[in-house]
Amino acid sequence: MRNINFLLVICLTFLFSNYTTPKQINTFNQKITKNNNDIFTAKLIAENYHVGDITLSLQDKNNVLVTYKMKDGWVLDKSNFFLGNSNSIPKKSNGCPNLKLFNNKTIHSPSVTEYTYTTPISVLKGIKCAAIVTKAVVTKGSLCLNAWSEGKNFTCNNGASYSEICDGNGNGEGNGNGSGNTN
């Protein structure tokens, strides 16, 4: 099984080298799981609740997928996400992310337990650190909360945070704990 995983990483590295993706994304191959093209997974946190997960995965040579997957009875009512250079996250003057400027936003009516955005892989071209900003409005019973991807905090004090994947040269935080965890 270990040989199969190693072979999968080698094959994907070869495939990446033939695509017009950024050179740095090759280091993300180390994070690909056994049976799919997942590159990165981070917890979706609302206050102290782990309400779901965000997964970044490869669809094909042209697109990446960002999937919100809720857990433990939580549902997704609204979602916003940004994927791109961490220095290019749209922000308000107070340092909070400006969700109005995010290209990807959806009101889910009815609520859903899973939702996937497709975005061109070209947004990652030439980027040393890719930021994944995911914000969600989630509910469970009568409880309604704002949830963010686990990771680095924005400078504003509203609990907003984002995940970051970097080029493998010791830069970046993975899912916020330095692991780039795909579990």
Indicate the pLDDT class of residue 165, thresholds 50, 70 and 90.
Answer: confident
* pTM for the model: 0.72
Non-local (6+) Cβ contacts of 35 within 8 A are none
Tell me the chain's radius of gyration from C-alpha atoms: 16
- Spell out the domains of the chain, with CATH numbers in brackets: 2-166 (2.60.40)
pLDDT digits (tens, 9 = 90+) for 126-163: 888 889 999 999 999 999 999 999 999 999 878 899 99
Q: Is the peptide bond before 90 cis (omega within 30 degrees of 0)?
A: no
- Is residue 145 within 8 A of residue 49, CB to CB? The reply is yes
